[in-house]
A and B are shown apart, each in its own frame.
Chain A
Amino acid sequence: MSQAETEEGGDFVLLVSSDGYKFSISRKAAMVSGTLQRMFEGAGLESQSNRVILKDINGVLLEKVCEYLCYNLKHQNNPGNIPEFEIPPEMALELLVASDFLDV
């Protein structure tokens, strides 16, 4: 569904939501999340298959998370002047739990 652009070629990883939606995002963007970074860089199954199943995060939420990962990656080098990241208020609590888990 959501795809991030990478500079050269595609080094993508796959995030799978609890309800089966698959999000392919650039590895760089995924590394924004401390949890995902440890998963992909560890010795586990995830680092071999480049694919993480997030059982506690549903599709809608994961889409927002991916959006944030790309937003963070894009603005990392110029953090002084960035557009606001929009979050629908009804999503805030669930998103907080998810972001707490993902360490973003």
Chain B
Amino acid sequence: MSRVRGPNSALTEFLRERGIDALAIRQRYEEAQREQGEGGQNDGAAQEGITEEDGVVTVSSATSSRNSRRQSSEPAARVRSRVSKKKKRDAEDEDDELILDRIARPKPGQIEFCAECNNRFTVTAYSKPARDGGEGLLCHSCGSKYAQEEKKQKKTQISSRKKRKSVAAALLDKQDVMVPKLQDLCIKLIARYIDDVDMLGDIGEVNMDKIARILSRNRSLKDNTVRLFLVPSVKQLRFWDCSNLCSDSYKLIASFCPQLESLVLSMCGQMTDEVLDYFTEKLEHLHAIAFNGAFLIRNPCWINFFTKRGSQLTSVAISNTLRFDRTALQALVDNCADTLEELSLSRVGNIFAADLPLLLKLTKLISLEISYMRDALTDDVIIDILKLIGPQLITLNLDDCDTLSDRVLLEGIRPYCGKLQNLSLGLGENFTNEALATLFRDWEINNGLINVSLMRCTKVGDEGVQALIEHSAKTLVILNINSVYSLTDSTFHLLATSECEFLSQLDIGFVHCVGDKEVEMLSERCPSLQLIEAYGNIRITEVAKMKPGVRLIGRQSDTI
């Protein structure tokens, strides 16, 4: 065989290294076919099993037998002679003989000589190959000598794998790897045995909240477990997964906790009109609600709720419902105008652009979210709203706003939003680079933003983001520029050299220009940095060295 080879793939190279090649596989197949023909039908199945086993062994022992091939030691010669005898075929060329050498392993049931003590023994499927690359197999007693050692090796292997896994899992949870707190251990245990708990007792509101959160995550917040949290004195309840609660359980919340001031119910699909009416009647101190997915509640019920309790509400968040439309919004606006400071509408499908001017009555708002409602957003409405409440607004979230154009930035946000701290313009695919740059350049009425998301603003590039950094470097804490594809490394040089002393979270997922060098520089230069999310950044590898305290998650090399 000629030694000259053309270029080939990594897979071909790997297979060759392992001694696997098409020729050998074909020969093995032919051999099996032939033997099957000789042996007749009676033991066909058994033979097949053995050949398969043969194939597996070949791969694992190929490397060890490769060394010995050259030495052509006595057992090797024996194996070879036996193989060729068995085959009863003419010797082919030398190379083929060597390949056969490699794939040949005595079949279970055969008599073999131990490679170490030279005693006769019967080969079984469990016979171990000789140590240190020697040829042949070990007898049972020699093989078991090493069993202990192998077990130990396996154990350390498993434990190191476990360790890697736990580190990777903690990374994904955005936590440091540390000894778990005794409280958390207890909470986990309680959550596991929650069905046996009669009363939680005086464990503190923080711990209650933690347990409720874990139960929600395990989807085990049910009619019987929810009662544990309904303590008469409680003022704040947060249930993140109410999908397993029937409408009677919702009512229990109001009847057990009359002091409730703030109520968060997520995925409350079984909450009915009757329930909200009951809340309206019983919860006299309620001033903050967040209902996610309360899609059974109809307009008249919302109207009743806002009419009776509207004058005390300071924060309302409604998301994922189609049964909240103009009339309900009208009631909200009419009744809450004097108190409402925070309004969040997200994925409320029956609110349209024509309805949004109603919000102009809400003059006290300091936080406004209208997200994932692209049908409702138009430049003119948003600019009108910002004209009115912009000067006091602290939080503005307009995610999924690709119906908005640069006018909102230049005629709405820039002239009016002086106090703005949190700005989220995710998926704003129509905002241009120049407009964003103009917004931030010399924006003197604003003292700096704290939390900014420009996620998937795909037309934005270096100029806009650099203007943002220059404007807000001293105040930025969280920056999300996920999928702002056209950024180049000059932006990250600027970010690293701008003395962002408070910047603690950075999402740079899918920003392809970021590599090891850039993240190392950022971790070095930003003293408060704690978390970098880098999903989809293939240029960030395991080599990147992070300062202790900085977590980098989403690297491909971190996968379990």
Answer yes or no: A99 CB below 8 A from chain B CBs.
Answer: yes
With A80-B163, A81-B159 known to touch, is A92 a contact of B186 (CB < 8 Å)? yes
Answer yes or no: B173 CB below 8 A from chain A CBs.
Answer: no
B160-193 contacts to A, CB under 8 A, are: 160, 162-163, 166-167, 177-183, 185-187, 189-190, 192-193
**Are B190 and A81 closer than 8 Å at their CB atoms?**
no
**Are B181 and A89 closer than 8 Å at their CB atoms?**
no
Answer yes or no: A29 CB below 8 A from chain B CBs.
Answer: no
Q: Which residues of A contact B162 (CB under 8 A)?
A: 81
| Surface stretch bound by A, among B61-69, B194-202, B397-405, B493-501 | B194-202
**Are B193 and A89 closer than 8 Å at their CB atoms?**
yes
Answer yes or no: B204 CB below 8 A from chain A CBs.
Answer: yes
Question: Which residue on B lies nearest to A74, using beta carbons?
Answer: B179
With A71-B179, A79-B177, A79-B178 known to touch, is A95 a contact of B186 (CB < 8 Å)? yes
For A, the interface residue count at a CB cutoff of 8 angstroms equals: 22
Question: Which residue on A lies nearest to B162, using beta carbons?
Answer: A81
**Are A92 and B190 closer than 8 Å at their CB atoms?**
yes
Answer yes or no: B4 CB below 8 A from chain A CBs.
Answer: no
Q: Which residues of B contact A100 (CB under 8 A)?
A: 183, 203-204, 206-207
Number of CB contacts from chain A to chain B under 8 A: 66
Answer yes or no: A93 CB below 8 A from chain B CBs.
Answer: yes
**Are B179 and A99 closer than 8 Å at their CB atoms?**
no
Docked complex Cα distance between A45 and B225 (Å): 43
**Are B190 and A68 closer than 8 Å at their CB atoms?**
no
**Are B201 and A93 closer than 8 Å at their CB atoms?**
yes
Q: Which residues of A contact B177 (CB under 8 A)?
A: 79-80
Docked complex Cα distance between A8 and B461 (Å): 60
Interface residues on B, range: 20 to 34
Docked complex Cα distance between A93 and B162 (Å): 29
Answer yes or no: A50 CB below 8 A from chain B CBs.
Answer: no
**Are A75 and B186 closer than 8 Å at their CB atoms?**
no
**Are A96 and B202 closer than 8 Å at their CB atoms?**
no
**Are A99 and B163 closer than 8 Å at their CB atoms?**
no
A32 CB to closest chain B CB (Å) equals 9
Answer yes or no: A43 CB below 8 A from chain B CBs.
Answer: no
Answer yes or no: A60 CB below 8 A from chain B CBs.
Answer: no
Question: Which residue on B lies nearest to A98, using beta carbons?
Answer: B182
Type the 1/0 row for B19-56, where 1 means its CB is closer than 8 Å to any CB of A. Answer: 00000000000000000000000000000000000000
Docked complex Cα distance between A104 and B211 (Å): 17
Point out the residue from A72, A85, A93, A104 that lies within 8 Å of B190, measured CB to CB. A93
**Are A81 and B166 closer than 8 Å at their CB atoms?**
yes
Point out the residue from B185, B197, B207 that lies within 8 Å of A85, measured CB to CB. B185
Point out the residue from B163, B167, B179, B203 that lies within 8 Å of A96, measured CB to CB. B203
Question: Which residue on B lies nearest to A75, using beta carbons?
Answer: B179
Question: Which residue on A lies nearest to B202, using beta carbons?
Answer: A97
Type the 1/0 row for A62-97, where 1 means its CB is closer than 8 Å to any CB of B. Answer: 000100100110011001111001010100110111
Point out the residue from A76, A95, A102 that lies within 8 Å of B179, measured CB to CB. A76
Docked complex Cα distance between A99 and B204 (Å): 11
**Are A93 and B203 closer than 8 Å at their CB atoms?**
yes
B119-165 contacts to A, CB under 8 A, are: 159-160, 162-163
A2-36 contacts to B, CB under 8 A, are: none
Question: Which residue on B lies nearest to A97, using beta carbons?
Answer: B203
B156 CB to closest chain A CB (Å) equals 10
**Are A96 and B178 closer than 8 Å at their CB atoms?**
no
**Are A97 and B201 closer than 8 Å at their CB atoms?**
yes
Docked complex Cα distance between A68 and B193 (Å): 21
Point out the residue from A71, A92, A104 that lies within 8 Å of B189, measured CB to CB. A92
Docked complex Cα distance between A102 and B181 (Å): 11
- Most A Cβ at <10 Å: residue of B162, B182, B200, B202: B182
B529 CB to closest chain A CB (Å) equals 22
Point out the residue from B160, B178, B186, B197 that lies within 8 Å of A99, measured CB to CB. B186
**Are B182 and A65 closer than 8 Å at their CB atoms?**
yes
Q: Which residues of B contact A93 (CB under 8 A)?
A: 186, 190, 197, 200-201, 203
A56 CB to closest chain B CB (Å) equals 10
**Are B167 and A80 closer than 8 Å at their CB atoms?**
yes
Q: Which residues of B contact A80 (CB under 8 A)?
A: 163, 166-167, 177
Q: Which residues of B contact A65 (CB under 8 A)?
A: 182
Point out the residue from B160, B166, B196, B206 that lies within 8 Å of A89, measured CB to CB. B196
Question: Which residue on A lies nearest to B187, using beta carbons?
Answer: A96
Q: Which residues of A contact B166 (CB under 8 A)?
A: 80-81
Question: Which residue on A lies nearest to B183, using beta carbons?
Answer: A99
B128 CB to closest chain A CB (Å) equals 29
11 extra interchain contacts, Cβ-Cβ under 8 A, other than A75-B179, A89-B192, A100-B207? A80-B177, A85-B180, A85-B182, A89-B196, A92-B193, A96-B203, A97-B201, A97-B204, A100-B183, A104-B181, A104-B182
A-B pairs with beta carbons under 8 Å apart, 5 shown: A79-B177, A95-B182, A96-B187, A97-B202, A100-B183
Q: Which 8 A-B pairs have the closest CB atoms?
A: A96-B186, A99-B182, A80-B163, A81-B163, A92-B189, A104-B182, A99-B183, A72-B179
